[in-house]
């Protein structure tokens, strides 16, 4: 009965909708293996791991998104694990289709003790968000990467089966996107998109709280709550080269996951 109450509470929390900000597919770091629940246990079973994955989704502005990744994990010793992940992304909508390499994630995970671990690494962009339609730069909605080189830091801790992860993704560089909505004719759907010329992106902080349930000896269900906070409003430069904030881009998004 106690476990049932916890599951029901998590289901209620999963149905929360929240304000401004972004989902994880924007920041990207919540999909890193070492930030997922039970990652240490699964890696320690094998010295080498290769994983493949794909996803499909519907984004804003009637855009369909397809993505995939290949990941390699290498356990160096009882405390150190190296993780690399290569991603791609395709977008289709409003008569525009794009596809490209996204990012390369390189991370190291260090096990402090049986309860605590730290992660440090980087997200390396594989393009600079410069996709165009003809001679016109496209908005970030059609870019396969944010185009920023990011520092990644994380800390995980377990208390009585509850798993906690806190992580930071901080851009150290910015991209070369030059999209201005005013460059497109008013009858174009693209003219209503957010301008991102001279885009300056802020960092993100996430906290993941997970609790695993052993359904059988071979099957485990792990629900988790994942709030992501975008630390400040992003910025862009308008037609007069004046720097302006993108109002509402700062804020929290509450996500629910089940593994």
pLDDT digits (tens, 9 = 90+) for 204-252: 999 999 999 999 988 999 999 999 999 999 999 999 999 999 999 999 9
- Asked which of 24-38, 58-72, 227-241 is least confident by mean pLDDT, the reply is 24-38
Measured between alpha carbons, how far is 165 from 172 in angstroms, rounded to an integer?
Answer: 22
Domain residue ranges of the chain, discontinuous segments joined by +? 2-258
Where residue 43 falls among pLDDT bands split at 50, 70, 90?
A: very low
Mean predicted confidence (pLDDT) in 127-150: 94
Closest-CA residue to 172 (of 208, 121, 206): 121
- pLDDT for the residue 2: 46
pLDDT of 20 > 70? The answer is no
pTM of the complete model beyond 0.75: yes
pLDDT of 22 > 50? The answer is no
Q: Please state which CATH number belongs to domain 2-258.
A: 2.40.160
Q: Is 24 exposed, middle or buried (0-12, 13-18, 19+ CB in 10 A)?
A: middle
Measured between alpha carbons, how far is 91 from 68 in angstroms, rounded to an integer?
Answer: 12
- pLDDT for the residue 21: 39
pLDDT of 109 > 90? The answer is yes
- pLDDT for the residue 13: 42
* 7 to 43, 138, 154: CA distances (angstroms): 26, 43, 26
- Asked which of 22-26, 141-145, 151-155, 200-204 is least confident by mean pLDDT, the reply is 22-26
pLDDT of 6 > 50? The answer is no
Mean predicted confidence (pLDDT) in 9-26: 42
- pLDDT for the residue 44: 54
Residue 113: DSSP 8-state: S
pLDDT of 8 > 50? The answer is no
């Amino acid at each position: 009965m106690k476990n049932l109450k916890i599951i029901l509470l998590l289901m209620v929390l999963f149905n929360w909708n929240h304000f401004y900000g972004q989902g994880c597919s924007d920041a990207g770091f919540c999909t890193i293996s070492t930030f997922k629940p039970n990652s240490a246990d699964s890696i320690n079973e094998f010295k080498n791991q290769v994983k493949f994955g794909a996803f499909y989704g519907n984004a804003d502005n009637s855009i369909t998104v397809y993505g995939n990744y290949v990941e390699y994990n290498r356990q160096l010793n009882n405390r150190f694990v190296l993780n690399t992940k290569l991603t791609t992304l395709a977008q289709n909508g409003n008569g525009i289709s794009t596809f490209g390499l996204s990012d390369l994630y390189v991370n190291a995970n260090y096990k402090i003790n049986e309860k605590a671990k730290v992660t440090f690494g980087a997200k390396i962009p594989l393009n600079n968000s410069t996709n165009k339609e003809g001679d016109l730069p496209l908005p970030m909605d059609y870019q396969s990467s944010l185009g920023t080189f990011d520092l990644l830091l994380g800390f995980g801790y377990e208390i009585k089966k509850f798993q906690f992860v806190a992580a930071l993704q901080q851009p150290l560089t910015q991209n070369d996107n030059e999209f201005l909505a005013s460059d497109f004719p008013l009858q174009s759907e693209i003219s209503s998109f957010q301008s991102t010329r001279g885009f300056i992106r802020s960092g993100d902080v996430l906290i993941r709280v997970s609790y695993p349930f052993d359904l059988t000896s071979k099957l485990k269900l792990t629900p988790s709550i994942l709030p992501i906070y975008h630390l400040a409003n992003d910025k862009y430069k308008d037609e007069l080269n004046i720097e302006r904030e993108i109002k509402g881009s700062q804020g929290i998004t509450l996500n629910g996951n089940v593994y």
